[in-house]
Structure 1
Amino acid sequence: MIESNLIREGLVASINSNYTCDVYFPDQDYTATGLKISNPGGTRNKDWNLPNINDLALCVFIPPSLTDGWIIGFGYNDEDKPPDGNENVHSTTYMDGTSISYDSKSHKLTIDCKGEITINANVMNLNGKVMINAKPWLTHQHSAGNLVDGNSKPVTGKSGDGMVE
């Protein structure tokens, strides 16, 4: 009996504060408690991505126990379908609809954020054309000074104008 239950599909019943979950197995009306969640990033690059209640969980158990085990992944089902995409696109979609996707064929990164974006850096470099499609894009003024654009033409105007000519 134990051998046939070492790898099981169940539904997340609760998410615990110690990075474990309880998983319900409807075919046996049984809930395994405190299952550890595997981390694809290891200990060097950490990922914090907890499941939702009723997510489909793939679990493995350490014999001879049916209580000591791990959740090794989560799957899609009829109620929770994967985001649309193709083989060239890696994407993450969040509960509020925010999405980040990268198309490796067209080399295009797209971020569709439903809220604000904050970038903190010691130095920020933007190389290439920058298109700003909304005003106000800066809340303070800087004179262009002796700057030149990529075509060696002088840059004039003030940054707070929304356009540097």
Structure 2
Amino acid sequence: MARVRWTDMDGEVSYWLPVMQKKTLKDKEYWLPDLNEHVVCLIDENGEEGVILGAIYSDADATPVQNKDKYYIHFEDGTEVEYDRKQHKLRITVKGDILIEADGNMTLKASRIDLNP
């Protein structure tokens, strides 16, 4: 849940609104907008019930990638996840440690694996 400040209504603040997520039942995802993030809402005519549909880019906060073939996530600490579906390339840059846990076996399969080159 989050609240929205309506800049077109003299800074009035909304009631608590649910934030739309991609998955909520068997598979789950959770991510709230940051404070002052530009969001789009679907609100009833009284401004009492609604939902935050998600964040959008603007002139002040431009789209970080201009390529329709790329899926991109950038975190505040500089960590990045990028997948280019045209080049079939996944790039992950982490500003910290990585932990991978498996209840079963782990297999790395590639034509070549370089460790700490």
TM over 0.5: yes
Identity %: 31
The aligned residue for residue 99 of structure 2 is 118
Q: How many residues align?
A: 114
- Going from structure 1 to structure 2, the CA distance change for 1:87 and 1:60 (only over 3 Å counts) comes to same
Q: In 1, Cα distance between the equivalents of 2:93 and 2:9? A: 42
Give the structure with the higher percent strand.
1
Q: In 2, Cα distance between the equivalents of 1:120 and 1:112? A: 19
Q: In 2, Cα distance between the equivalents of 1:85 and 1:127? A: 31
Q: CA deviation at 1:23?
A: 0.4
Q: 1:43 aligns with which of 17, 25, 28?
A: 25
TM-score when normalising by structure 1:
0.64
State the 4+ residue runs in structure 1 displaced beyond 3 angstroms: none
Give unpaired runs (5+ residues) of structure 2: none
Q: Which amino acid counterpart does residue 36 of structure 1 have in structure 2? A: P
Confirm whether residue 24 of structure 1 aligns to residue 2 of structure 2: no
Give unpaired runs (5+ residues) of structure 1: 1-19, 135-165
The aligned residue for residue 16 of structure 2 is 34
Between structure 1 and structure 2, the one with the greater Rg is 1
Q: In 2, Cα distance between the equivalents of 1:100 and 1:26? A: 32
When the two chains are superposed, the root-mean-square deviation of aligned CA atoms in Å is 1.5
